[in-house]
A = this chain, B = another copy of it.
């Protein structure tokens, strides 16, 4: 490891800070499948001293690590590169110390996704503790941000924005739609609620099973990063994009779908648009363009994003749809994809396992 780049056959020692939640556990699982990664440091304030396998029985055969309480010196000693899987508002406190020690960092929280400090503080209702880092952080959607390869700090996208942005990026980049016509109707499995699931009645089995509901109907935090990225895609000179975004809770554990509606500027047929999508994503190994509407189960457990679209000639609208596993491409898998790139590894390293089906 020199300057964040991997040389020779060495394994990369990986730290996971805030490893008690679903994303932390998924990071651990995916690192086990990674031929170059070895988890050497995991933290949880509430579980400090306890074995990781106590919190994640599925990892029992795989590790005898114990959770540590986070300490920057320990972290730098134990890990070559780190994932931060803390709640919003926490990563910004510890990132500076780790970056000073020149550790590649991927933060899966929202702390560094929104480049504009005022916008962050308004959507997140939090004061930013490390505003200086906002400029350095790269938004880690590698399909659209090749500069991840040079990044020291990557802000891993939210699960909803990952699916939504991938679903409509070609439309914005090629200026095919009326920007302000975009409506994102999104649906996620329960694991998207992260650590909050355990103790809240609204996420108990009887409250979710055989049920479906919208939540955070106007004002969900993920709106901010989605608008930021779509504005960027629309290019200089374009007005800031304003979207409509509505998340819903699916009675499934994993998986997320975004159904996106926008008005085409010019009539176009689905076949032509699908071809443009294929071209746009020609170098994106995890984006699969499919002729039929994508299904969540076709990506569950995998890092793939499947995208399709239809066009309604009557209304001149395009309906673009994307599915991902919210814990993989929507969180831990994408974080590893980013880390691969930061470390000079093949983007797909350790991430090619297909979905579990059925």
Contact = CB atoms under 8 A, between A and B. Distances in A.
Contacts of A180: 315
A312 B189 CA distance: 24
> Interface extent on A, as a size class?
35 or more
Contact of A251 (B200, B251, B312): B251
A352 to B, nearest CB: 7
Interface stretch (A56-64, A79-87, A149-157, A275-283): A56-64
Contacts of A215: 293
Contact of A242 (B199, B255, B315, B358): B315
A132 interface: no
Interface in A171-205: 180, 183, 185, 187, 189-191, 197-201, 203-205
Interface string A211-222: 111110110000
A302 B211 CA distance: 14
Interface in A224-259: 242-244, 246, 248, 250-255, 257, 259
Contacts of A355: 58
Interface stretch (A25-33, A37-45, A70-78): A25-33
A168 interface: no
B206 A204 contact: no
Contacts of A209: 190, 205, 208-210, 251-253
A167 to B, nearest CB: 12
A337 to B, nearest CB: 14
Each complex incorporates copies of this chain amounting to 4
A288 B58 CA distance: 10
Contacts of A212: 187, 250, 252, 255, 257, 295-296, 323
A241 to B, nearest CB: 11
A242 B314 contact: yes
Max chain B Cβ within 10 angstroms of own Cβ: one of A205, A213, A321: A205
A242 B29 CA distance: 42
B205 A190 contact: yes
Closest A-B pairs by Cβ, 6 of them: A206-B358, A198-B201, A185-B185, A211-B297, A205-B208, A58-B355
Given A57-B357, A207-B297, A218-B319, 19 more contacts: A29-B354, A33-B33, A61-B288, A62-B354, A190-B206, A198-B201, A198-B207, A203-B204, A205-B205, A205-B209, A212-B250, A212-B296, A213-B293, A213-B323, A214-B257, A215-B293, A217-B310, A250-B250, A301-B301
Interface of A: 22, 25, 29, 32-33, 56-62, 180, 183, 185, 187, 189-191, 197-201, 203-215, 217-218, 242-244, 246, 248, 250-255, 257, 259, 261, 285, 288, 290, 293-302, 304, 310-312, 314-315, 317, 319, 321, 323, 352-358
30 contacts: A29-B354, A57-B290, A58-B299, A58-B356, A59-B354, A60-B288, A61-B285, A61-B304, A180-B315, A190-B204, A190-B205, A190-B206, A199-B199, A199-B200, A205-B205, A205-B207, A206-B358, A208-B209, A209-B209, A209-B251, A211-B255, A211-B295, A212-B257, A214-B259, A217-B310, A244-B261, A244-B312, A250-B251, A253-B358, A301-B356
